[in-house]
Structure 1
Amino acid sequence: MAKSLLIISRQSPWSGPSAREALDIALAGGAFDLPLGLLFLDDGVLQLAPAQQPAAVQQKDLAANLQALPLFGVESLYASARSLQERGLEPRALTLAVEVLDDAALIALIDRYDQVITL
């Protein structure tokens, strides 16, 4: 059986290539039926914010990649409750359905996966 992989995306969608790279890894892993999860942490939760205008900062829109995750079998999607709260984001207003986890649940989540990549 393949080892499980947790991808932790910690960068905002406009701060560089890390957010896109995390999504690309998740989509590729999902295409190969790799057991994986994707955790949005710190500024990474900003990828889930509605009504983004990436063209204003000369960036590409990640919305299509985010919406494709479940189509590629990536259904284990998580976000940090603390990160959402600190950035004023309401879980029900996010552009993608994620399981919102408190700090204790985040530790347990990370422990469940065989390998962890942080971008």
Structure 2
Amino acid sequence: MAKSLLVISRQAPWAGPGAREALDIVLAGGAFDLPLGLLFLDDGVFQLSVAQQPKAIQQKDLTANLKALPMFGVDDLFACGHSLAERGLNPKNLNLDVETLDSQGVRALIERYDQVITL
């Protein structure tokens, strides 16, 4: 059986290549039916914001790629509730359906996976 993988995305979509690289890893893993999950943590939760304006800073919008995750079999999507609250994001108003976790839930989630990659 394949080992499970949790990718933790901690960068805002405009802060460098980390957000895109995390998404690429998840999409590739999903294409190969790898058991995986994606956790948005810290500034990574900004990827879930519906108010993004990537063209204003000459960046590519990740929203379409994020919405493609279920087509690649990636259904285990999570966000840290504390990170959302700190950044003023409402869990009910995100561009992706994610399960919101408290700090204890985040720790339990990390323990559940065989491998963890943080970007």
Fold match by TM threshold 0.5 = yes
Name the structure 2 match of 1:20: 20
Q: Report runs of 4+ in structure 1 exceeding 6 Å deviation.
A: none
Distance 1:61 1:16 in 2: 13
Report % sequence identity.
73
Matched, 1:108 2:116: no
Q: Residue type of the partner of 1:106?
A: V
Q: How many residues align?
A: 119
Following superposition, the deviation at residue 75 of structure 1 comes to 0.3
Please name the residue that 1:85 is paired with.
85
Q: Do residues 39 (structure 1) and 39 (structure 2) align?
A: yes
**Cα RMSD between the aligned structures?**
0.5
What is the deviation of 1:51?
2.7
**Structure 1 residues without counterparts, runs of 5 or longer:** none
Does residue 56 of structure 1 match 2:56? yes
Deviations 1:20-66 (A, max 9, x none): 01001000000000000000000000000003110111111101110
TM-score, normalisation: structure 1? 0.99
